[in-house]
Structure 1
Amino acid sequence: MDIRIDNLDGADIAEFLQQHINDMRSISPPESKHALDLDGLRAPEITFWSLYDGEQLVGCAALKELGVGLGELKSMRVSASVRGQGYGSKLVSHIVQEAKSRQYSLLSLETGSMPFFEPARALYLKHGFSYCGPFGSYKEDPYSVFMELRLDA
């Protein structure tokens, strides 16, 4: 397994992220879809990683700086063909370690409230995240769940 910073120029990651956007569009109403497209992920405050098993792209995740000491886990996705095999845990651990190395005190995320997102919520809980209210520019939304991990404890 290899986690690499990705400049988002490759066709494989573009296709992988388009599948993510398509999934989110099919599950979440348009006003509740918070997945970023390629241009959104290229913002200077975002670092994006791709996860490879050999030469096969199997996952991705991003870390967005929200302000001094604050980060957001974004665009977490693992290929359906390898879910349940520990790839998601590797990505979450990587993002948490990166947030700690940047001396963030809080790492937040938004995910869906629907049953489709239950495995993701369980993964985040397993890694120490807890439920919280909206953060940053997010608003209360019945289709969203907000979670945080305190890193300064």
Structure 2
Amino acid sequence: MAISVAIETPLQDDVRALVSDLNDHLLPLSPIEFQFKMSVEQMAGADTTVFVARDGNGAAVGCGALKDHGNHVGEVKRMFTRPTVRGQRVGSALLEAITTLAKAKGVTRLVLETGAGEGFADAYRLYERSGFTRCGVLLDYPDSEHSAFYEKWLTLAPAQ
């Protein structure tokens, strides 16, 4: 299946639906107070770049975002692929696009928070295969048994 990944606004109906499906997917996996979601309106902020994966028919099948925290720190947010495309490297393509943009923006440390537990095993595999390693608590997240934290140190893209 041909997948394209591009920067898009999250304020589109099909992307809103994708984010809603992500929120529904997360609900049974962690207590709500330990789900650190961004709304599509927050995702549309100037500090966040949203990537959307689309199939050959143009349907939104995945998303992910890069949030710039300043001081050369970027955060991967709202990673999700529809169950119908899991195992087809859509998540890897999204994470690669996020990493490429992070390097171009001068990010040297890319971080993320995800849930903890069996329901997140696929996410752990994706992040670890993409060069992320587990680390301690990040940014302003609470230290909790419901979160797992990852980081990836980047080298800067060559000047153009």
TM-score, with length taken from structure 1: 0.95
Equivalent pairs, count: 153
1:1-150 correspondence to structure 2 within 5 Å = 1-54=3-56, 55-150=58-153
Instruction: Find the aligned partners of 1:97 and 1:42 in 2 and give their Cα distance.
Output: 20
Following TM superposition, by how much is the alpha carbon of 1:43 offset from its aligned partner in structure 2, in angstroms?
Answer: 2.0
Give the 4+ runs in structure 1 shifted more than 4 A: none
Q: Which runs of 5+ in 2 are unaligned?
A: none
For residues 21-63 of structure 1, what are the alpha-carbon distances to aligned partners after superposition, in whole Å with 9 as ceiling and x for unaligned?
1122222111100121212212221111111112121110000
When the two chains are superposed, the root-mean-square deviation of aligned CA atoms in Å is 1.3
Instruction: Find the aligned partners of 2:136 and 2:155 in 1 and give their Cα distance.
Output: 19
TM-score, with length taken from structure 2: 0.91
For residues 79-117 of structure 1, what are the alpha-carbon distances to aligned partners after superposition, in whole Å with 9 as ceiling and x for unaligned?
100101111111111111111111211000011111111
Instruction: Find the aligned partners of 1:148 and 1:22 in 2 and give their Cα distance.
Output: 26
Instruction: Find the aligned partners of 1:56 and 1:8 in 2 and give their Cα distance.
Output: 14
Matched residues, percent identical? Answer: 31
Instruction: Find the aligned partners of 1:24 and 1:35 in 2 and give their Cα distance.
Output: 10
Following TM superposition, by how much is the alpha carbon of 1:122 offset from its aligned partner in structure 2, in angstroms?
Answer: 0.8
* 1:21/1:37 contact within 8 Å kept: no
Instruction: Find the aligned partners of 2:4 and 2:44 in 1 and give their Cα distance.
Output: 21
